[in-house]
Amino acid sequence: MAARGGLLMLENFIGGTFLPCSSYLDSYDPSTGEVYCHVPNSGEEEVEAAVEAARAAFPGWSSRSPQERSQVLQRLADLLEQSLEELAQAECKDQGKTITLARTMDIPRAVHNFRFFASSILHHTSECTQMDHLGCLHYTVRAPVGIAALISPWNLPLYLLTWKIAPAIAAGNTVIAKPSELTSVTAWMMCRLLEKAGVPPGVVNVVFGTGPRVGEALVSHPDVPLISFTGSQPTAERITQLSAPHCKKLSLELGGKNPAIIFEDANLDECIPTTVRSSFANQGEICLCTSRIFVQRSIYNEFLKRFVEATRMWKVGVPSDPSADMGALISQAHLEKVRSYIKKARLEGARILCGEGVDTLNLPPRNQAGYFMLPTVITDVKDESCCMKEEIFGPVTCVVPFDSEEEVIQRANSVKYGLAATVWSGSVGRVHRVAKKLQSGLVWTNCWLIRELNLPFGGMKSSGVGREGARDSYEFFTEVKTITVKH
């Protein structure tokens, strides 16, 4: 590890070796607003070196058996788990999330991603059909595609990067990962464990830097045939344009404007704390977070009163404080963007019931320049407002009343996104009926963010292209071939 001015200085990981870069970016601690780390500002040269390393490693890695690859993934999971506390501390400092969330969600899930795909890779079967009248047998085989580009965002850094690396290498591909330049530290820490886990040099390469520089060099490289991306819709559009001339395979996991639909027969004792969590967990910086809450009119006033009370109890604190529910937002620019939505809502005549501009944030002097804000509830807002249409990706949620089932389904579906919805009702028939009609890749009823990694994950409409999960990721990270044998 290098250091400049006493600050942590990351290096790219290419071909099993840490390599310095000719230029570096500043990376900020969101809880203080201070630079604490330098991140390589990689470009075409580093991508070229990573492609070379990944190409050289492909024949050996792809010809190993699934069992051999699975064992490597299991060892990596064990090593990550042994470093859980160190990784959680690093994620908390780098991203601004609470230490509790990093300890209980981000890092355990990163460990689980490797364990899960180490197991699922052992259980795939292929198809076979027969045409006896022609004396033919048909079957399919799958093979890894080649070098995968894996581009991940800043909100769940190691969690989302490993959700891509694990299935890609389990299937026999070699990878070039590009984490967000805002949160690169835990990916770099993981690289230090790869050799010990038995990952051969060049199988996992990590290049750090910005989207326009290193990201674009990677996605437009002719020898990188598939791209798995999680992030914003405008970036997905750019990646689609750059990759189109090469007809690359694309998996795009994008944003959401996720509705919660709360019927009058909902169990509010469960619904309210879960909806506070679904709105404000990780500072509202999860693509699955709720940001439009539709409440049936007969319980609207009661819900609003109790929801605002519960939101006021959601503690914003220094990320290292284990009792904090919410830490700092990712950057000054993002904080300003999130606040700008609240200003617009005010100008449109909406009411801010708690949070930004209403309540007072108490922080230690050292954290006054950090990127903190209070969880904020907006009401009296029209469906046409940008706060009800656009992804804010911060601790802001809107609450509005509805009258009928048909009406709320139509309003919930009236945005360009279609990622995740929650439906709260005591009626089994109703939850099935409504879930089927929602334009949403995921619907949680009477719960939120209970993940079954075997099943498809992803969004419809502008929330993405493709699905990830045990079988879906396997299909994405392999090419299928149909073979016909005449006997």
Ligand X SMILES: NC(=O)C1=CN([C@@H]2O[C@H](COP(=O)(O)OP(=O)(O)OC[C@H]3O[C@@H](n4cnc5c(N)ncnc54)[C@H](O)[C@@H]3O)[C@@H](O)[C@H]2O)C=CC1
Dihedral sign of CA atoms 20, 186, 224, 63 in order = positive
Nearest distance from residue 291's CB to ligand X, in Å? Answer: 11
Q: Judged by CB, which is closer to ligand LQKPKE2M: 11, or 181?
A: 181
Is 52 catalytic? The answer is no
**Residue ranges with strand state E in 364-439:** 376-379, 396-402, 417-418, 420-424
| 230 lies in the site for ligand X, by CB under 6 A | yes
Angle at 182 between CA 176 and CA 185, to 5 degrees: 65
Which of 46, 253, 285, 356 is flagged as catalytic? 253
Q: Residue 186 or residue 379: which is nearer to ligand LQKPKE2M going by CB? A: 186
Contact 436, 451 (CB under 8 A): no
Judged by DSSP in three states, 205 sits in: strand
- Separation of alpha carbons 378 and 340, rounded Å: 13
- Determine, following the binding rule CB under 6 A, whether residue 155 of this chain makes contact with ligand LQKPKE2M: yes
Binding-site string for ligand LQKPKE2M from residue 449 to residue 468, where x marks contact by CB under 6 A and - marks none: --x-----x-----------
Question: Which residues lie below 8 Å from residue 46, measured CB to CB, with a gap of 6+?
Answer: 12, 14, 19, 21, 40, 207, 209, 214
Binding-site string for ligand X from residue 138 to residue 177, where x marks contact by CB under 6 A and - marks none: -------------xxxxx----------------------
DSSP assignments along 59-78, one per residue: HHHHTS-HHHHHHHHHHHHH
Stretch that binds ligand LQKPKE2M, among 41-49, 67-75, 269-277, 284-292 (CB under 6 A): 284-292
Q: Is 20 exposed, middle or buried (0-12, 13-18, 19+ CB in 10 A)?
A: exposed
> Please, what is the minimum distance in Å from the beta carbon of residue 458 to ligand LQKPKE2M?
9
Query: What is the DSSP pairing of strand 136-144 with strand 478-486?
Result: antiparallel
The one segment of 33-41, 132-140, 188-196, 224-232 that binds ligand X by CB under 6 A? 224-232
Residues 219-258, interacting with ligand LQKPKE2M (CB under 6 A): 230, 253
- If binding is defined by CB under 6 A, does position 254 make contact with ligand X? yes
Looking at the Cβ atoms of 110 and 286, the one nearer to ligand LQKPKE2M is 286
Q: Is 287 in the site for ligand LQKPKE2M (CB under 6 A)?
A: yes
Specify whether the CB–CB gap between 163 and 134 falls below 8 A. no
Lookup: tokens for 453: 């990694």
Q: Which residues bind ligand X (CB under 6 A)?
A: 151-155, 178, 180-181, 210-212, 215-216, 219, 230-232, 235, 238-239, 253-255, 287, 334, 391, 393
Q: Which positions are annotated as active-site residues?
A: 253
